[in-house]
Structure 1
């Protein structure tokens, strides 16, 4: 009887032990996944290096990126920009930035070569490889200033910038796709020991920037006739982003009809109102080109209002000022998008 009871107790204890180990296993699995910072995730385009965790993450639906494809030449102190043997590419689209930490005995070269193999296996063509650039060791101090990047991280923003310069590896790559090309910029660095200042652990760190090219979607809300009237009274002008043109073109796109209709409604409500229609551009292409383009676009708006909505010619005057009246810096695509607009100013 005692043997039977002991057997039952032993069996029950074994079941308890199994349950304990299962709980421990799942808890350990959760703790591994929980090592990634909240809100971060791998890109579906590329795998991560085994054993690494995400320590920094940023995702933007649309941005411009400067992609290195040749050796570094010099740093321009006046413009505060890096200069290369070939002008860098400037793809625009969805930008995802992921910082990985592979702590322990992992070196930067191992991580770097694994990523290059992963890129090639996914159909990417390597555009630049610092390991094949004899001059690369001379410009490691001019690594992209990671500290200026506003991204969520549980390490110092300077964890890449201040790492061991001799172990830095940099590569850029491109993959062609029907839905839009993809570009990758990879930077891998190495820390020889733990560092409390930069919250760095000994091991390798990989920064993966992925740019999925696509045109910016127009999301500006159409300004109503009443809102135009209020803006003119309060500020003396109204900025419109609902009138669309293709790049470097002055033909009005069909999607502009709602905005044109509201302008016509405003002028019919106020028969005495006269307006200057002012075209504004960004600074891409130079002044002479943009002053002509902005005037042609203003002419197109005036012509459409006269022809399609019956607004008298004497009530509208077309003007173009190129990029002489920016409302945002022209150094980023987001700023340039704000500067590309049509303004209405009472005559």
Structure 2
């Protein structure tokens, strides 16, 4: 292991120029003579960290299924793809990173090289799932998924240090020759997801009553993001008070106004379940307006449409967060 670890140098050593704006994560070195071909950092994201073998993709729920449910890690997320051209193999890169993570105090949660049940699709669908590879890169978006399946190795790890919890998910693959279709070079590719767990900052701008009225007059609806719910729950959170106050102000300023309150979700979970959830959320908004602000219930109706009217792609958390909303539509 000591010989292997010598291949993990300081981050400055690269084979080719990195993707513009890309950089190594400060916790983890890169494999020798590798360069960054994809980079994306978000101040907050939600990432599934596999801790067991992938079993199947459920077409009904559109969810990946595992022997044990993945851990959901939320916080600052950095995603990096490295390319190490030449005779480098995926198992060589994999074991170097494994040793490096252990040296940095990470505990291994899952190691596919020790899992006799790791199947044909384990590496592909435990990495990130389809869609998150559609980021700025200088290789084909499918360079990880087009590689030979026998070369796939994945691991997940966790560290608690100085009050900070960090998760890492690694996947390595290998190309035995250059491939023009996928813009892949002979050598190995490694993907890293690093998540520093932390709470999301509530940073939503409250839409004023006058702005709601203007939006409905211009477009026939207004989308609100200041009404908050816990995942899978329909109870309106206390942080929603400013938005509810503005809705009440809007209704009180126009006694003839009647509103359809429409709940929207992302595509996580089943369609039927999300339709029911989104309607319950709309009903909770109405109940709060009636019970806390004295609005007549006859002026409000509730509907739930789940993810049937998205305003952004559900492939990424950034888009899913835009799809989770409450809309007001005048009757």
Q: CA offsets, 1:19-70, max 9 Å, x none?
A: xxxxxxxxxxx99587111110001121111222112212233333233221
Q: Does 1:191 align with 2:175?
A: yes
Q: Which has the larger radius of gyration?
A: 1
After superposition, residues 1-347 of structure 1 pair within 5 angstroms as 35-76=17-58, 82-136=64-118, 138-139=120-121, 142=124, 144=127, 149-176=133-160, 181-247=165-231, 248=233, 250-254=235-239, 256-257=241-242, 259-270=243-254, 272-276=255-259, 278=261, 280=263, 282=265, 286=273, 291-306=279-294, 313-314=295-296, 317-324=299-306, 326-328=308-310, 333-346=317-330
Distance 1:31 1:88 in 2: 34
Question: How far 1:90 sits from its partner (Å)?
Answer: 3.3
Where structure 1 has 5 or more consecutive residues not aligned to the other structure, the ranges are 1-29, 307-312
RMSD: 3.6
Q: Secondary structure at the match of 1:131?
A: helix
Greater mean deviation of Cα atoms: 61-70 or 281-290: 281-290
Shift of 1:223: 1.9
Q: TM-score, length-normalised on structure 1? A: 0.73
CA contact (8 A) 2:42 2:77 kept: yes
CA contact (8 A) 1:220 1:241 kept: yes
Runs of 5+ unmatched residues, structure 2: 1-11
Once residues 81 and 341 of structure 1 are traced to their aligned partners in structure 2, the CA distance between those partners, rounded to angstroms, is: 22
CA contact (8 A) 2:222 2:327 kept: yes
Report the CA distance shift for 1:92/1:323 in structure 2 as closer, same or farther (over 3 A): farther
Q: Secondary structure at the match of 2:71?
A: coil
- Distance in 2 (alpha carbons) for counterparts of 1:48 and 1:222: 43
Aligned pair count?
311
Cα distance between partner residues in 2 of 1:146 and 1:331: 8
